[in-house]
C-alpha cells in the first residue's frame, strides 16, 4: 500500500502503543497526525519533525518521556501542537522559536523545565504550560494571550530583569523628547532637541563643579577603604586555614565532582556575593585568570588541564615484559591508530595493549595525550571497551584495555573457518543492539557528544557470551578529520558527506552503523574488490534490495542456512535502510535506532512464546540456539 498520498492519520484513543514507542516510519506527506491516548512510550521520534507538511500534531495523553530534540525548525506549516499529559522533560528546544505559524500549543502536565522565552515571539493565541517545572519570568508578550494557562510552575516573582541598556540613536535623529523636562539633562545638551540653547548657564557650571567634587570624594573614600580591606584580608588569610591551598586529595575530590556534574558553572562558588549598592565587578576575559588583586582577595585554585584519571599507570618496562617485547606472537591486530598486543601480567590478568603510532602523535605534546587518556577514562558503558591503564614515557604512548577472547566482529564474520560456529541470527541482532547502545551513549548521554568517527566491525569486540564492546571510542580526536578520512577512505564505512567535506558528525557514525548491520545481514565485507564491480560496494549493491522480500532472502548470509525469522529479517532491513540514507538529515538518531531494535526483539520473543504452545515444537526449538529468547 502506497502511504505517500495519505495526508490525515487519526488513530487517537485506541491504546495501540501498549508501552511501545511511536512508529518512526510515518507517511511522509501527513498534514494532520493524531496519536493521542494510545499509551505510547519512549521519546518523540525524530521522524515526526521531518513531516514538513504537518499542520496539526496531537501526541497528548501518552507515556512519552525524555527531552525534545532540537529539530523542529522543519515544521514550517504547523499551527497546532499538543504534547500534554506525558512525562516529557528538559528545556524547550531553541528551534521552537522558528515555528512562525504556531497558534495553539498545549504542554501541560509534563516535566518540562527552564524558561519559556523561546515562545515569546510566536503568534500564539492559545497556550497551556500548566503543571510543569518551568522557571524564570513569563515573557510580557505571552501575558497578552487570551487563553493562557501557567499555573503549577516555579515562576520567578518580583519584577522581571530590566530590558537591554538604552543605546543612543545615531546623530541627526531625535531622542525621546518627553524623556526629561530638565534643561540640565545630558540628553538635551547635544542639540538634538532642536530648539534648545547651545550655551551653558552659570547655574549649570556650578552644578558640574559640585558634581566633580562629590565624585572625587567618593572615589578617594573607596580607594582608602580598598587598601584597608586588602590589608585586613591578608591578615585574615594567615590565620584562617579554610583559605589555604587545597591538598592533593581535596583537589581530586573537587575535580571528580566537576566530572560527574553537568557542564554548568556555579558562579556563587567562585565569587563571594557582591555587596548591595556597589558597582558590578569589572569584566574578566574568558581566557584570562584573575588579576593579582583578585588573587589577594579570593581563595582560588589555579585551573589546570589535569583531571583525575581512574586508570593504572604502567611503565614501558611493565608492558614490554607483559607482551614479550611486543612480539609478533602476541599481536592481536592493527588498526587506524596502531597495533594491539595481548599482554600477560604476573597477577594472571590478560589485557590488550594498543601501541599508538608515533606518526599520529608526532605533533602532539605529552600533555595532550594525558588529556586524551583522562577523557577516555570517563567513558563507561557495558558495551564500551573499558580503559584499564596507560603509559606515556620515553616518547612511547600506549593504552591498556580489557581483553576480549572472542576477537572482533570482523574476524567472526569474514575470517572464520569451518571449525568456528557461525553467528546465529539472534546473536547478530544482539550484537547490533549492544553496538547501537554504545553509540547512543556516546551521542546522547555524553556531554559534549562524542563522535566515534571510526565505527566498523573490527572495532566491535566480542566477549565470552558474544556481547559486543565498542573500542577506540574517543581516540579519533588524535587525528584531524581530513587525515582520518584519508587513512580510511576505501573501507566502505564512510558516509557520502564525509568523502565530500572530510568532516565527521553524529550522522556519519549512524551511516557507519548501518554498514555494520549490513555486514551482519549479508556476511559480506563493506568493500570487496574481489567481487564483480556492481557488487564491490556493499551499500550500493544491497540498498535497492532491502525492501524486496524475495531479494532479501537471497542477500542473507549463507552461513545462517535459512535459520532466521522472516519478519525479523524484514524489520532488520528497514532499520538498515534508514541508517544508510545518503542524506544525513534523514538518518534517525541512535536513540530511535535502539528503540527499533528493542521492538524487533520484543516482537520476536512474543512470537516464539506463542509458538511454544505446541509441546513438540517447543521441545524441538528449545535445542536450537537460534530460537531462544533474546536478552537485552
What is the helix, strand, coil percentage profile of the chain, to 5?
40, 15, 50
Q: How many CB atoms lie under 10 A from the CB of residue 394?
A: 9
Q: How far apart are the first and last CA of the chain?
A: 33
Task: Report residue 129 as a C-alpha cell.
Answer: 504550560
Task: Report residue 327 as a C-alpha cell.
Answer: 612480539
- HSE of 149 in the Cβ direction (CA atoms, 13 Å)? 15
Task: Report residue 534 as a C-alpha cell.
Answer: 556492481
DSSP 3-state of 126 = strand
| CA–CA separation, 598 and 66 (whole Å) | 17
CA dihedral 576, 580, 585, 588 (to 10 degrees): 20
380, 387 Cβ separation under 8 angstroms: no
DSSP lists the bridge partners of residue 66 as 88
The dihedral through the CA atoms of 202, 206, 211, 212 has a sign that is positive
Q: How many separate helices (H) and strands (E) can be counted in the chain?
A: 17, 21
Residue ranges in 325-424 assigned as alpha helix (H): 366-377, 409-414
Phi–psi pair at 322, nearest 5 degrees: -70, -25
The dihedral through the CA atoms of 299, 302, 305, 309 has a sign that is negative
DSSP code per residue over 533-599: GGGSBHHHHHGGGTT-HHHHHHHS-GGGTT-S-HHHHHHHHHHHHHHT-SSGGGSPPHHHHHHHHHH
Locate cell 618496562: which residue?
A: 317
Distances (CA, A) of 152 to 6, 36, 96, 118, 494: 39, 23, 22, 19, 49
593, 444 Cβ separation under 8 angstroms: no
513, 495 Cβ separation under 8 angstroms: no
Per the annotation, does 355 bind a ligand? Answer: yes
511, 584 Cβ separation under 8 angstroms: yes
| CA–CA separation, 435 and 441 (whole Å) | 10
Binding-site residue ranges: 355
Query: What residues form the annotated binding site for ATP?
Result: 355
Amino acid at each position: 500500500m502506497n502511504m505517500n498520498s495519505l495526508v490525515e492519520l487519526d488513530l487517537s484513543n485506541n491504546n495501540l502503543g501498549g508501552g511501545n514507542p511511536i512508529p518512526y516510519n510515518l507517511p511522509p506527506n501527513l498534514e494532520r497526525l493524531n496519536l493521542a491516548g494510545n499509551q505510547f512510550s519512549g521519546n518523540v521520534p525524530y521522524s515526526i519533525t521531518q513531516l514538513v507538511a504537518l499542520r496539526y500534531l496531537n501526541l497528548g495523553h501518552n507515556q512519552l518521556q525524555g527531552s525534545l530534540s532540537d529539530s523542529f525548525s522543519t515544521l514550517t506549516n504547523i499551527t497546532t501542537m499538543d504534547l500534554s499529559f506525558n512525562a516529557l522533560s528538559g528545556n524547550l528546544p531553541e528551534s521552537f522559536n522558528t515555528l512562525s505559524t504556531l497558534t495553539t500549543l498545549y504542554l501541560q502536565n509534563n516535566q518540562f523545565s527552564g524558561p519559556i522565552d523561546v515562545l515569546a515571539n510566536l503568534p500564539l493565541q492559545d497556550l497551556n504550560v500548566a503543571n510543569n517545572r518551568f522557571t524564570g519570568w513569563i515573557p510580557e508578550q505571552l501575558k497578552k494571550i487570551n487563553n493562557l494557562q501557567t499555573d503549577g510552575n516555579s515562576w520567578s516573582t518580583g519584577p522581571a530583569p530590566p530590558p537591554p541598556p538604552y543605546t543612543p540613536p545615531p546623530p541627526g535623529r531625535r531622542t525621546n523628547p518627553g524623556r526629561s523636562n530638565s534643561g540640565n539633562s545630558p540628553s538635551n545638551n547635544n542639540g538634538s532637541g532642536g530648539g534648545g540653547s547651545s550655551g551653558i548657564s552659570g547655574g549649570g557650571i556650578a552644578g558640574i563643579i559640585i558634581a566633580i567634587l562629590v565624585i572625587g570624594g567618593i572615589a578617594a573614600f573607596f580607594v582608602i577603604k580598598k587598601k584597608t580591606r586588602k590589608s585586613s584580608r591578608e591578615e585574615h588569610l594567615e590565620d584562617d586555614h579554610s583559605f589555604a591551598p587545597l591538598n592533593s586529595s581535596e583537589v581530586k575530590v573537587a575535580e571528580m565532582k566537576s566530572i560527574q556534574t553537568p557542564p554548568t558553572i556555579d558562579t556563587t562558588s567562585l565569587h563571594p556575593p557582591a555587596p548591595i549598592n556597589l558597582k558590578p565587578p569589572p569584566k574578566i576575559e574568558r581566557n584570562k585568570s584573575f588579576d593579582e588583586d583578585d588573587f589577594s582577595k579570593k581563595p582560588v585554585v589555579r585551573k589546570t588541564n589535569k583531571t583525575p584519571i581512574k586508570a593504572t599507570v604502567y611503565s614501558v618496562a611493565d608492558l614490554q615484559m607483559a607482551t614479550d617485547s611486543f612480539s609478533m606472537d602476541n599481536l592481536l591486530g592493527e588498526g587506524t591508530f596502531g597495533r594491539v598486543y595481548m599482554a600477560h601480567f604476573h597477577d594472571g590478568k590478560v589485557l590488550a595493549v594498543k601501541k599508538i603510532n608515533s606518526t599520529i602523535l608526532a605533533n602532539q605534546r605529552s600533555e595532550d595525550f594525558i588529556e586524551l587518556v583522562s577523557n577516555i577514562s570517563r567513558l563507561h558503558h557495558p558495551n564500551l571497551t573499558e580503559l584499564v591503564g596507560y603509559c606515556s614515557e620515553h616518547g612511547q604512548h600506549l593504552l591498556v584495555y580489557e581483553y576480549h577472547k572472542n576477537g572482533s566482529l570482523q574476524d567472526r564474520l569474514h575470517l572464520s573457518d569451518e571449525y568456528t560456529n557461525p553467528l546465529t541470527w539472534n546473536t547478530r541482532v544482539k550484537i547490533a543492539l549492544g553496538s547501537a547502545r554504545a553509540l547512543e551513549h556516546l551521542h546522547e548521554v555524553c556531554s559534549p557528544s562524542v563522535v566515534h568517527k571510526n565505527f566498523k566491525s573490527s572495532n566491535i569486540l566480542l566477549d565470552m557470551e558474544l556481547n559486543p564492546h565498542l573500542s577506540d571510542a574517543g581516540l579519533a580526536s588524535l587525528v584531524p578529520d581530513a587525515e582520518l578520512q584519508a587513512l580510511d577512505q576505501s573501507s566502505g564505512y564512510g558516509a557520502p558527506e564525509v568523502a565530500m567535506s572530510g568532516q565527521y558528525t553524529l550522522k556519519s557514525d549512524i551511516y557507519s552503523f548501518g554498514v555494520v548491520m549490513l555486514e551482519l545481514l549479508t556476511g559480506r565485507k563493506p568493500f570487496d574488490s574481489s567481487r564483480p564491480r556492481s557488487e564491490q560496494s556493499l551499500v550500493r549493491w544491497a540498498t535497492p534490495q532491502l525492501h524486496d522480500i524475495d531479494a532479501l532472502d537471497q542477500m542473507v548470509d549463507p552461513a545462517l542456512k535459512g535459520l532466521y525469522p522472516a519478519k525479523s529479517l524484514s524489520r532488520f532491513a528497514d532499520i538498515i535502510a534508514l541508517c544508510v540514507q545518503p542524506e544525513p538529515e534523514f538518518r534517525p538518531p541512535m536513540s530511535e535506532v535502539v528503540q527499533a531494535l528493542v521492538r524487533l526483539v520484543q516482537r520476536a520473543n512474543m512470537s516464539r512464546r506463542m509458538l511454544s504452545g505446541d509441546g513438540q515444537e517447543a521441545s524441538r526449538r528449545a535445542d536450537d540456539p537460534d530460537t531462544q529468547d533474546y536478552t537485552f
